[in-house]
Structure 1
Amino acid sequence: MTMIAVLGNGRVGGSLALALTRAGHEVTVADRSPGSAADAARTAQIVINATPGAGSLERLIALREELRGRILVDVSNATVDGPDGLPAELLYPGSSLAERLQEVLPDTRVVKTLNTMLYTVMTAPAALTQTPTAFLSGKDPEAKQVVRGLLADLGWQQEWITDLGGIETARAAEAAILFVPHVIRSSGFAPFAISITR
């Protein structure tokens, strides 16, 4: 059992919290209030950032001390939304939210994953008709191994997980969010994931 704090109680955070609780972990979900997030992060071994990406950097900088020494799993995408509310462009072109987080939180081990799919796939990858891919980006091999274990608890088989390398590779995974509005307009709001097939 691992002590996990999920920052964000929307669809993404709620789904992850429920699935990880069912897998036997002790999960605390923080709402948007600073006190709630600080309390949750302070007692956790792993913190999952499921807050809206456009405001994640500011929220997590405020938790610098609470996140010291923790593994921070970043599943968010930082985008500028278009008139229809769907992602239109990246907030950090030429970089990524994960890289920015690692820069401002040098004592935290940031791992990027699960941001290249509709939120329902994060906790039910086997529900798709074809094999999905979960990407990992991060500079700490041990942290990425721990996150692999969490993904397994969410139903991800090891052969479905691709380690892209250092945290700088998160910019490629985050750029995949630009596919999302076009896929949704083309096929509707149905579960999907970006996948590598070989």
Structure 2
Amino acid sequence: MTTIAVLGSGTVARTLAGRLTDGGREVVVGSRDPRRAAGRWAGSGVRLTGLAEAADSGALVVNALPGPVSVEVLGGLAAQLAGKVLVDVANATDSDARGFASGLRYPGGSLAEEIQRALPDVRVVKTLNTMHESVMADPAGLATPPTAFLSGDDAEAKKAVGGLLGELGWPADWIIDLGGVESARAPEAFVLMVGGLVGALGPVPFGLSVAR
């Protein structure tokens, strides 16, 4: 079974790595500061390393880094990521005083497109960025089935990511393939609604769902 690398060591990384490890996957988490992050990951069963070592270890790599720094940080890992599938779950935004998204860092484009442009030898697939992090690894926990979207230029890469979503608890009919990497623009823009939704619903887990 292939090793999964998760780049980033925050709450999103912990949620995804925990579910995958519980399912029997070997997971390597890469942190920008492994020594500082070590205490939060003690006893998790996950190997914590630096970013380059993690990227080199995983056949499939998840970008759980903060969106605003993703292009710069991932660009420095081009050699380790070449030829691999990169699952981008981040959103790149500017934030308001409350910490909610106030604008997109790449208006007229998307973070996924910027990553693909910076790393042409990497097969980028956008997914899981339209929901609270807890929903990423427990979609059945919501009262209404959420939707996971796929955007990417490589059909085999999207197939591999669809399999990974299955391991995270996503039934196939809850996943919609939107098309090429440029189709990530619409789901990335959903983050602009989050502040208003939290104001209306309170701090409860939610995700975007397509009714049909």
**For this structure pair, what is the TM-score category when the shorter chain's length is used for normalisation?**
over 0.9
Unaligned runs of 5+ in 2: 35-48
Match status 1:10 vs 2:7 = no
Mapped contact 2:147–2:174 kept (Cα < 8 A)? yes
Paired-residue identity, %: 53
Q: In the TM superposition, what are the counterparts of 1:17-96 in structure 2 within 5 Å?
A: 17-33=17-33, 36-96=50-110
Whole-Å separation in 2 of the counterparts to 1:52 and 1:188: 23
3-state SS of paired residue (2:5): strand
* Number of aligned residues: 198
Give the superposition deviation at 1:173. 0.9
Q: Distance in 1 between matches of 2:94 and 2:203?
A: 20
Amino acid at match of 1:21: T
Q: Which residue of 1 aligns with 2:176?
A: 162
8 Å CA contact retained: 2:64, 2:90: yes
Give the letter aligned to residue 78 of structure 1.
Answer: A
Letter in 2 for 1:89: G
| Counterpart residue number, 1:185 | 199
Of the three residues 95, 104, 122, the one matched with 2:136 is 122
- Tell me, in whole angstroms, the C-alpha distance in 2 between the residues paired with 1:52 and 1:134: 20
Pair 1:153-2:171 in alignment: no
Separation (CA, whole Å) in 2 of partners of 1:120 and 1:146:
22
TM-score, length-scaled by structure 2: 0.91
* AA matched with 2:14: G
Measure the CA separation in 1 of the matches of 2:67 and 2:129: 11
Q: Is this contact kept in 1: 2:126–2:149, CA < 8 A?
A: yes
C-alpha distance after superposition, 1:10-35 (max 9, x if no partner): 11011000111111211001111498
CA deviation vs aligned residue, 1:43-90 (integer Å, no higher than 9, x gap): 210110001101111100000110001100000000000011111110
Q: What SS is found at the alignment partner of 2:117?
A: helix
**Structure 2: which amino acid aligns with 1:37?**
L
| CA distance in 1: counterparts of 2:2 and 2:75, whole angstroms | 24
Gaps (5+ residues) in structure 1? none
Q: Is the 8 A contact 2:28 2:57 kept in 1?
A: no
Instruction: Output the CA distance in 2 between the equivalents of 1:89 and 1:188.
Output: 21
Normalising by structure 1, we get a TM-score of: 0.98
